[in-house]
Structure 1
Amino acid sequence: MGRPAREINAGLLDTELAALPPELRWREWMTRVEAVIFAASEPVSRELLSQIVGRECSIDLLIEDIASELTARPYEIVAVAGGWQFRTRPRQADVLKAAFGGTVAGADITEGEMLVLASIAYHQPVTRAALSDMLGREVSRDIVGHLRRLDMIASGPRSPQPGAPYTYVTTKKFLEQFGLDTLRELPDLEALEDAGLLNRGAAGVDLALTDDEESSNLPD
């Protein structure tokens, strides 16, 4: 689901551009959409973009045309967390890491924390005790607290287990950080290992979901 649309004062903006010929009208809509996404600090929703173009304008076709024009550029427009955002292309990761330091994901997450985060992502909602059982070692409150401070996880529904412990789920920030539109785009665990973001072999744990778990845990 996209972010709530902001209300735009229709009197300040001619969205239909009826005085322009079709080609120039389309070009102006493309420019507007690109400018808004470029200036935004978070993914821009379809609802917001629809307020700056004509009523009959196809947002999807506009995005396709913008993406086509960016083919040779080091950045691209991607669907993230229910909206669109500009991202540098993956092939530029080594250059950016060399220039600015930090991890590929851009967040201060250790290998152990990444394993916990992946476990939450693939099995949410999940309790801390269940994470400890899954990983074969204690998942400390400090690890959970750090992931919460990074806004990667949040409290989910209370578990039906005795004591009704809290469960944990991933957030929109998690989707944004890893360039995902929905949880159904989570990569195979092997892909995370190949990217150097996860070493589940050390923990001897299999995070892969069964078909039943996938259909129940990962929302559209």
Structure 2
Amino acid sequence: MSESADTEREIEALLFAAAGPLSLEELARRLPEGVDVAAALAALQGRYAGRGVELACVAGRWRFQTAQDLAWLMTEEREEPRRLSKAAQETLAIIAYHQPVTRAEIEAVRGVQASRGTLDVLLELGLVRMRGRRRTPGRPVTYGTTDAFLEHYGLPSLADLPGVAEMKAAGLLSLDLPPDFAVPDPSLLAADEDPLEDGDAPEFHTDFIGEQEPGR
């Protein structure tokens, strides 16, 4: 058996046994030095293409998953996921496309005040995180998406989000985005952000006391 075939088998075994998706770097640390992990992943992905189980890259990490067209077979065996409210879905979309974004900016886009629990839910589910503090009066916290957001929606990266025009048509985005708009890398602080400090623990419910969101 060739060295490349051995590497594919080793990667297959690692991904099958792993508790979660693995990055290329994590795989390389477990494999013999010098092997071409990227080439082996590409070959393995091609070998599984069209089968009941496929090799997919989500949020920069690799995992085996059920083929999308066979998801209906699992409906009776899967737990019903926690559904997001319409307010939470809209808030999540705004954060994804506008990040880094503050609570006040989210409210400005939606046209209503954020309810006490909307951001709490998204933070508790790990779909968004506090990124930093805006260098403006009051130093409001900014929010961005997480890798768990990408994994939940099966997105390799933020660049694979639905088109901005489509989201605008759904009313989930402001209409003043520039033509060359691109979602920024959520791992990087923006020029007008400061990093969070140790005292910025996510006691997020205190930011929402006394607010109401009509009709939610």
What is the distance in 2 between the residues matched to 1:70 and 1:190? 34
1:91 aligns with 2:59: no
Contact 2:101 2:143 in 1 (8 A): yes
Contact 2:59 2:155 in 1 (8 A): yes
1:135 to 79, 92, 110: 110
Aligned-pair CA distance for 1:145? 0.3
Report the TM-score when normalising by structure 1: 0.73
Aligned to 2:210: none
Of 162-171 and 172-181, the range deviating more from structure 2: 172-181
Contact 2:145 2:186 in 1 (8 A): no
Aligned-pair CA distance for 1:211? 4.1
1:157 to 104, 107, 132: 132
> Root-mean-square deviation (CA), in Å?
2.7
1:70 aligns with 2:70: no
Q: How many residues align?
A: 186
Are residues 63 and 205 of structure 1, via their aligned partners in 2, closer, same or farther at CA, if it must alter by over 3 Å? closer
Aligned to 2:27: 49
Aligned to 2:209: none
What is the distance in 2 between the residues matched to 1:25 and 1:205? 50
Aligned-pair CA distance for 1:176? 1.5
What amino acid does structure 1 have at the position aligned with 2:63?
Q
Aligned to 1:206: 173
Are residues 107 and 179 of structure 1, via their aligned partners in 2, closer, same or farther at CA, if it must alter by over 3 Å? farther
Aligned to 1:112: 87
What is the distance in 2 between the residues matched to 1:72 and 1:183? 25
**Bigger helix share:** 1
SS in 2 for 1:79: strand
Are residues 172 and 140 of structure 1, via their aligned partners in 2, closer, same or farther at CA, if it must alter by over 3 Å? same
Aligned-pair CA distance for 1:72? 3.6
SS in 1 for 2:121: helix
Aligned-pair CA distance for 1:73? 2.0
Gaps spanning 5+ residues in structure 1: where? 1-22, 193-198
Aligned to 1:17: none
Aligned-pair CA distance for 1:66? 1.1
Aligned to 1:14: none
Following TM superposition, the consecutive aligned residue runs of length 4 or more in structure 1 with deviations greater than 6 angstroms are none
What is the distance in 1 between the residues matched to 2:155 and 2:7? 26
What is the distance in 2 between the residues matched to 1:96 and 1:28? 32
Aligned to 1:10: none
Are residues 213 and 190 of structure 1, via their aligned partners in 2, closer, same or farther at CA, if it must alter by over 3 Å? closer
Are residues 211 and 189 of structure 1, via their aligned partners in 2, closer, same or farther at CA, if it must alter by over 3 Å? closer
Contact 1:30 1:62 in 2 (8 A): yes
Contact 1:147 1:153 in 2 (8 A): yes
Aligned-pair CA distance for 1:57? 1.9
